Chain A
Amino acid sequence: MTYHVVEDPIKKVAIFGGTHGNELTGVFLVKHWLENGAEIQRTGLEVKPFITNPRAVKKCTRYIDCDLNRVFDPGNLGKRMSEDLPYEVRRAQEINHLFGPKDSEDSYDIIFDLHNTTSNMGCTLILEDSRNDFLIQMFHYIKTSLAPLPCYIYLIEHPSLKYATTRSIAKYPVGIEVGPQPQGVLRADILDQMRKMIKYALDFIHNFNEGKEFPPCAIEVYKIMEKVDYPRNENGEIAAIIHPNLQTGNHCALRILCF
């Protein structure tokens, strides 16, 4: 029996860089595409590159007042606009106005939010909803295209640990996280990997719009279970650090080195 799912074509796509101002790959890819967007164009598709936190980008810092990638919840988005609000909350409302509003028909179809991490996570795609078939197919396509370069899928669906991301205002939010890269550093190899992830994502959307059929697939994901903080002393300073075995990815034992 053939299983048909009819979806509307994707029309409006945005690529966000600089949500964290010191995660430079997204910042420079977006700046480059604002100058010369040929690489991200696909027929029939509007693809808009956009710097989300320009003040943090200018200072090369993660944020000015608070983390932009945590304030797209209804509470913050609904606050009355005022100069007293943290910069990032005001900015979130502007972005919601431009690319949302969140949970409405007018919001962008897809937002790719570009991030780096100092962790050794390689190419990671972040999924917010385990029942989003469209994105599961997209991620499968990207992962297959990148092979043999590994590409991991991180599922942040969790009743309390899921956070209100910048990209969550879109119908299909996609987090792209590539590391390891120090904050404030731009590595050519990481840039190349992120660039490829975007290329394959846009190819997928284009193929989808052209009516291509994607057979059923399965993906392996890493689902968030809990957050683990460092041991801290009475002043809140860290009192121990990640054990060398865990730092290098040996997951046989989860131990903490105390000093």
Chain B
Amino acid sequence: MCSRPEPPEPLRRVAVVGGTHGNEMSGVCLARYWLRAPGELQRPSFSAVPVLANPAATAACRRYVDCDLNRAFTSAFLTARAHPDDPYEVTRARELNQLLGPKASGQAFDFVLDLHNTTASMGTCLVAESSHDVFAMHLCHHLQLQSPELPCRVFLYQLPGEESYSVHSVAKSGLGLELGPQPQGVLRADLLARMRALVAAALDFIQLFNQGPGGRDGLRHQASHTGTAFPAFEMEAYRKVSSVDFPRTETGDLAGTVHPQLQDRDFEPLRPGAPIFQMFGGKDVLYEGESTVYPVFINEAAYYEKGIAFFQTEKLTFSVPALPGLAPAPSPAP
């Protein structure tokens, strides 16, 4: 994702997207609610637009109708000529690209927040393409500071050389919120409340950024000695390295499942020799990599058909540069 243009502008066009996957209920319910009552999404300097990304899948309470919407935002899909036989989600991606994009253009939305759930025990996870989006990294940092008692991890999912494909890649900057564990089609009050609070905190951060140096009283960010509102910091994140499939029979059926010692251990170190799968006949399959990795999305229901039992990530720490704040403004925009 490109870094913010210089000089920085306030973020005016912000969207909060739910129902990109129609059976991930926190986002579905919040998007439906905000479409009826958007007041909560308003801030003095902007109003975030709620979007129900995949209405047909949401109505059927399925992940997708024809294909995964959150993989459909590549230039190949977006720029190809429309055809009546196109998959539903490809047509929908083009509509969303017109609404929130066009991707990689000056008219694209400033920021898109995309709400997801997972059946994996990932707690609160912030999903970004890479560390290059400085604004998104500062937002993650802000969200992490909001609830220090609750682990809130950053997952970087873009592989080297890979084109971006997600809903939020359409905008100039964006972030996915991934909360779990929650079964598909099930709505849990605790995750719903947490998702709602995270969205509120994210919009508060954008408001904070938009306000410029005038109005930071009572909020956590301290101006550094150089006068920057959003100083540089060190961020810890988990970067995707590869995926590991389930053990399968010759016909492609499962031959075993995630080992009890790996189940629910998202973000915990997986060391060479540790068990990862348990075959139906009872045998253990061990992790045979050379180095410690950090598995995420362990036993996510939607990934069985993608041939993914879990992702291997590396844990890294990197510097995030200061985020240039806005010049002081006389008053918030109407």
Q: Which residues of A pack against B, CB within 8 Å?
A: 28, 31-32, 36, 60, 118, 180-189, 191-192, 237-238, 241-244, 247, 257, 259
| Interface residue SS majority, chain B | loop
A188 touches B183 (CB 8 A): no
Question: Provided the pairs A28-B280, A189-B263 are in contact, do residues A184 and B184 lie with their beta carbons within 8 angstroms?
Answer: yes
Chain B residue nearest to A245 in the complex (CB): B189
Chain A residues with CB under 8 A of B29: 238, 241, 259
Chain A residues with CB under 8 A of B145: none
Chain B residues with CB under 8 A of A242: 187-189
Question: Provided the pairs A182-B301, A184-B302, A259-B33 are in contact, do residues A238 and B119 lie with their beta carbons within 8 angstroms?
Answer: no
Nearest Cβ on chain B to A253's Cβ, whole angstroms: 14
- Docked Cα-Cα span, A184 to B32, in Å, equals 25
Chain A residue nearest to B281 in the complex (CB): A36
Chain A residue nearest to B32 in the complex (CB): A237
B258 touches A188 (CB 8 A): yes
Nearest Cβ on chain B to A27's Cβ, whole angstroms: 9
Nearest Cβ on chain B to A21's Cβ, whole angstroms: 13
B254 at the interface (CB under 8 A from A): yes
Chain B residues with CB under 8 A of A247: 188-190
B326 at the interface (CB under 8 A from A): no
B189 touches A243 (CB 8 A): yes
- Docked Cα-Cα span, A210 to B305, in Å, equals 46
The listed residue (A31, A32, A118, A243) touching B186 by CB distance below 8 A is A118
- Docked Cα-Cα span, A200 to B32, in Å, equals 47
B33 touches A186 (CB 8 A): no
B257 touches A182 (CB 8 A): no
B54 at the interface (CB under 8 A from A): no
B189 touches A185 (CB 8 A): no
B119 touches A257 (CB 8 A): no
Nearest Cβ on chain A to B154's Cβ, whole angstroms: 24
- Docked Cα-Cα span, A191 to B254, in Å, equals 13
8 A–B contacts from the bound complex (CB under 8 Å): A28-B254, A36-B281, A186-B299, A188-B257, A188-B263, A189-B260, A241-B189, A242-B188
B233 at the interface (CB under 8 A from A): no
Chain A residues with CB under 8 A of B183: 118, 180-183, 185
Chain B residue nearest to A32 in the complex (CB): B280
A183 touches B184 (CB 8 A): yes
- Docked Cα-Cα span, A241 to B181, in Å, equals 17
B278 at the interface (CB under 8 A from A): yes
What per-residue 1/0 map shows which CB atoms of B251-283 lie under 8 Å from chain A?
001100111100100000000000000101100
A238 touches B187 (CB 8 A): yes
- Docked Cα-Cα span, A257 to B33, in Å, equals 14
Chain A residues with CB under 8 A of B258: 186-188
Number of A-B contacts (CB under 8 A): 76
- Docked Cα-Cα span, A192 to B187, in Å, equals 27
A182 touches B181 (CB 8 A): yes
Question: Provided the pairs A188-B259, A188-B263 are in contact, do residues A241 and B254 lie with their beta carbons within 8 angstroms?
Answer: no
Chain A residues with CB under 8 A of B185: 118, 183
Q: What are the 8 tightest A-B residue pairs by CB atom distance, in nearest-first order?
A: A182-B183, A184-B301, A182-B119, A118-B183, A32-B280, A186-B257, A188-B260, A244-B189
Chain A residues with CB under 8 A of B49: none
A186 touches B192 (CB 8 A): no
What per-residue 1/0 map shows which CB atoms of B201-237 lie under 8 Å from chain A?
0000000000000000000000000000000000000
The listed residue (A180, A185, A191) touching B301 by CB distance below 8 A is A185
Chain B residues with CB under 8 A of A188: 257-260, 263, 278
A186 touches B260 (CB 8 A): no
B263 touches A182 (CB 8 A): no
Apart from A182-B182, A184-B119, A185-B301, list 5 A-B contacts with CB within 8 A.
A237-B32, A238-B29, A241-B189, A242-B189, A243-B189
Interface-centre pick from A36, A60, A259 (highest chain B CB count, 10 A) = A259
Nearest Cβ on chain A to B93's Cβ, whole angstroms: 24
Chain B residue nearest to A29 in the complex (CB): B280
- Docked Cα-Cα span, A243 to B189, in Å, equals 6
Chain A residues with CB under 8 A of B33: 259
Chain A residues with CB under 8 A of B182: 182
- Docked Cα-Cα span, A187 to B261, in Å, equals 11
- Docked Cα-Cα span, A244 to B189, in Å, equals 6
Chain B residue nearest to A180 in the complex (CB): B183
- Docked Cα-Cα span, A180 to B182, in Å, equals 10
Question: Provided the pairs A188-B257, A189-B263, A259-B33 are in contact, do residues A60 and B189 lie with their beta carbons within 8 angstroms?
Answer: no
B187 touches A241 (CB 8 A): yes
Chain B residue nearest to A118 in the complex (CB): B183
The listed residue (B32, B253, B281, B304) touching A31 by CB distance below 8 A is B253
Nearest Cβ on chain A to B213's Cβ, whole angstroms: 36
B301 touches A241 (CB 8 A): no
- Docked Cα-Cα span, A257 to B196, in Å, equals 14
Nearest Cβ on chain B to A42's Cβ, whole angstroms: 20
Chain B residues with CB under 8 A of A257: 189
B304 touches A60 (CB 8 A): yes
Chain A residue nearest to B188 in the complex (CB): A247
Nearest Cβ on chain B to A187's Cβ, whole angstroms: 6
Interface-centre pick from B185, B259, B302 (highest chain A CB count, 10 A) = B185
Interface-centre pick from A60, A118, A242 (highest chain B CB count, 10 A) = A118
In B87-133, which residues have CB < 8 Å from any A CB? Answer: 119
Nearest Cβ on chain A to B259's Cβ, whole angstroms: 6
- Docked Cα-Cα span, A191 to B257, in Å, equals 9
Chain A residues with CB under 8 A of B32: 237
